[in-house]
Structure 1
Amino acid sequence: MTTLLEPTSSQDQGNDSSSVLGRVRAHLPEIAARSAEAEAARAVPAEIITALREAGVFRMALPKAWGGEQLDLVDAARVVQEISRADGSTGWTVQAASMAWFFVRSLPQETLEKEVFGDGADLMLRGAIAPKGKATPVEGGYRLSGRWPLASGSFTPDWMLAGFVVEGAPPLPDGRPDMRVALIRPEQVTFLDTWEAVGLRATQSTDFTMDDVFVPERFTGPLVGDNNIPAPFYGLPYTATGASHDAVILGCLEGALDDLAELAAAKRPAFNPRVVIGEDPVFQEKFAELHLRTAALNALLEQTGRVVMDRALAGEEPTSLEWFSYTGGHQHIHHEGIRILNEVMTLSGSAGLYSSNPMQRRWRDVRCVSQHVAGNNGSLRKLGAVLSGQGDAR
């Protein structure tokens, strides 16, 4: 595997076998070898989920005070990226479960500290933050019903996450409805087998439903509210988790470039079988360009992520320029990533079309990731407004 710019790490974690990334690297060959099996089964193999859980990936962003690893957003993204280089569905499963805790940061700290994390941070979370549920206030909490899509995770969770709107509540000061988020036990929901998608097929990003489920008030918080999780990452503005989405794309890109390098060393053009395609100067120039464009995306995530994380560590808010460079970077990486993979597929010729070639799976996986709201968030427009002197566009 060749990477032009090796990402840096604030903890040099990749060279330490006791770090999350060091532990994960021991499992990457098996993840890659079983990627086709995972897609066919529409689930990441249970043995891989168990191994990754033991490696600490599902607690990697949680605070050390509660038993987590407390990686910052860039180091956590690097873990996701390396897993995604082996298999996109596994990378997506890890990013979804490990980052979902960000969206319950507004729950009361006593609830989080004692009732959720009282026995440690080695927990699995699934759910959907979109406020698709409707809740009626009752004594001590809410009666919650609804149907939520895209609850990624081919595992049995310890907790479910669900966004909802409080019916009959007055609008918030900014005019939006009263939207909240809840933690619920998995036995209170019904999973529906709805995930038949073009890519990320092993993620089990299914729908789930609830019907008149009682949720205690203390297990809810404002959808956009104050942070009660004691780690700097959680103090960042809403949508801070986009780096992990970028990481899935970048990992799949690097994996596809690896696939193309193998193909270039072996494939011979039908009408010129004396050479392999890697000897073609036109191919060589285009292949180099794709590597450089991918390296540029890596550098963009690393640089903008470090800037906003440094602000969080200092207890400060990023400036508008810093924040929209980071979130606008998500939008650019999502769109440029699928463009690069389209060109990788073109260079592969007919070889890339066969289901036996992992390149086409990476292509489909990135097509799915690039549809996510994290990559279609309007931040490029807001960044342009700041850059053109139109003031703070938040």
Structure 2
Amino acid sequence: MITMSNRTEILNRIEKISGSLEQYSSKSEELRRLPDEIVQILKQTGLFTMKLSADLGGLDTDIVTYMDAIEELSRIDGSIGWNTMIGNSAIGRPGSFLEKSAIDVIFKNQEIPLAASVPSPSGKAVPTDGGYILSGTWSYASGISQSVWVSGGFTIENEPPRIACMLATALEIHDNWQVMGLKGTGSCSYTANELFVPKNFTFELNNQIPLRGGPMNYLGRPGFVTMDHAAVCLGIAKRSLETITEMSKTKLRGYNSDLLPVSDRGYFKKDLGLSKIKLSAARALVKESHLKGWEYAEQGIVPPPLIQSEMRTSGVYASEIAEEITHMAFKYGGGEAIYLNNNLQKYYRDACACAQHMMSNQSSYENYANFILDVEDADPMGVKSK
């Protein structure tokens, strides 16, 4: 049975700061990153450390509490939820997989730094004495402007791909986050140009066995991150439904004497009821699939590929349902919804942006079907074995 030792504490922290997060969140889109006030609130409440080993001062929470926390933060604001989940993975994974000599530097004086991460192996490295000379450009480094450390995946000839942990000050950050959704995440690109990275500040990208930390760190890849994307999407969709439900009671649509509140119209009632059920079903599916993986992780076992594929596919489904629900809410919002001061358009934009992520790619259904069909070398990420 799953242990939820700090669930109440974490959810209470979010409840206490929700008003302040709401207050400052309106600045995110203009800044194209989280306001400093929000970053400090999240840092002070420890919400960037839910995936970090307790040995390093992290909350090291359980999977259900984590998903519920990210969903609630995303209900407050999609960019807040997104940056929080990226920040958790970006510090949690190095904290569990790096050698102690690197840990002592990154977490010096028992401080927990903020971090960003792009695991995709976009860099190329050449081995050298004591490490690697690394060059490359990585995209979508959410929260990089607030980060002290940045991780990036890279390849080396005739070796497995690795992840490098680098100081943000050693990188060139590109101010190129001009986008239509999740505008407040500050997901800029960055470049390393022949940067020396000590080998102890790297670890294998596909390493599944952590050196420290709780069950979260045994979820493997993609299991370690699939819950994040699902939770963000569910939170955005939930807020969208709440907003259109209230708005429908006073918003009139029709012509002349035919004016009626949207809430009185049969089409709307059908779509609202169906959307509520779809959202609940998607949430239940995500939790069911991830709890299967958690049963293995609690025993110090990485979930098998079939379970990994179920976890990823459930997250993709949640993303699609969120996109559908936010579009429904936007549609019934009518002309008012196209104005930038109406959040229905923002929820829809954010959900669309979430759905564009690699982890939300529909190819996951094909990969999952390969397991159902007993296809040789089926893989959750569609990776072909050599």
TM-score higher than 0.5 here? yes
| Equivalent position amino acid for 1:95 in 2 | M
SS in 1 for 2:260: coil
Tell me what 2:216 maps to. Answer: 233
Q: From 59, 63, 71, give the equivalent of 1:73.
A: 63
- The alpha carbon displacement at 1:154 in A equals 5.9
Check 1:27–1:108 CA distance in 2 against 1; reply closer, same or farther (3 A cut).
closer
| Equivalent position amino acid for 1:300 in 2 | L
Tell me what 2:171 maps to. Answer: 189
Provide, for residues 69-107 of structure 1, a one-character-per-residue CA deviation record: whole Å limited to 9, x for no partner.
011233212111101101101111101111124553674
The answer to whether the 8 A contact 2:253-2:261 is kept is yes
Tell me what 2:316 maps to. Answer: 331
Check 1:122–1:108 CA distance in 2 against 1; reply closer, same or farther (3 A cut).
closer
Q: From 193, 213, 220, give the equivalent of 2:195.
A: 213
| Structure 1 alignment gaps of length 5 or more | 1-8, 173-177
The whole-number CA distance in structure 2 between the counterparts of 1:113 and 1:210 is 22
The answer to whether the 8 A contact 2:60-2:213 is kept is no
Size of the aligned set, in residue pairs, is 375
Check 1:138–1:317 CA distance in 2 against 1; reply closer, same or farther (3 A cut).
closer
Provide, for residues 292-342 of structure 1, a one-character-per-residue CA deviation record: whole Å limited to 9, x for no partner.
111111111111111111210022343444332211112212223212222
> How many percent identity over aligned positions?
25
SS in 2 for 1:53: helix
Q: Does 1:57 align with 2:47?
A: yes
Tell me what 2:12 maps to. Answer: 22
Provide, for residues 341-388 of structure 1, a one-character-per-residue CA deviation record: whole Å limited to 9, x for no partner.
222222222222111111111111111111111111633223223334
SS in 1 for 2:356: coil
| Structure 2 alignment gaps of length 5 or more | 380-386
Provide, for residues 215-247 of structure 1, a one-character-per-residue CA deviation record: whole Å limited to 9, x for no partner.
111111222124223322112221121111111
The whole-number CA distance in structure 2 between the counterparts of 1:221 and 1:11 is 30
The whole-number CA distance in structure 1 between the counterparts of 2:142 and 2:315 is 20
The whole-number CA distance in structure 1 between the counterparts of 2:337 and 2:110 is 45
Check 1:349–1:186 CA distance in 2 against 1; reply closer, same or farther (3 A cut).
same
The whole-number CA distance in structure 1 between the counterparts of 2:127 and 2:301 is 36
Tell me what 1:120 maps to. Answer: 110
The whole-number CA distance in structure 2 between the counterparts of 1:152 and 1:145 is 20
User: Which stretch of the first structure deviates more once superposed, 192-201 or 28-37?
Assistant: 28-37
Tell me what 1:352 maps to. Answer: 337
Higher RCO, Cα 8 Å, sep 6+? 1
Check 1:360–1:182 CA distance in 2 against 1; reply closer, same or farther (3 A cut).
same
Q: From 245, 249, 253, give the equivalent of 1:261.
A: 245
User: Which stretch of the first structure deviates more once superposed, 131-140 or 201-210?
Assistant: 131-140
Q: From 282, 285, 290, give the equivalent of 1:300.
A: 285
Check 1:261–1:354 CA distance in 2 against 1; reply closer, same or farther (3 A cut).
same
SS in 2 for 1:359: helix
The answer to whether the 8 A contact 2:56-2:110 is kept is yes
SS in 2 for 1:209: strand
Check 1:108–1:48 CA distance in 2 against 1; reply closer, same or farther (3 A cut).
closer
The answer to whether the 8 A contact 2:53-2:96 is kept is no
Q: Over aligned residues, Cα RMSD in angstroms?
A: 2.2
Q: Does 1:376 align with 2:361?
A: yes
The whole-number CA distance in structure 2 between the counterparts of 1:217 and 1:54 is 32
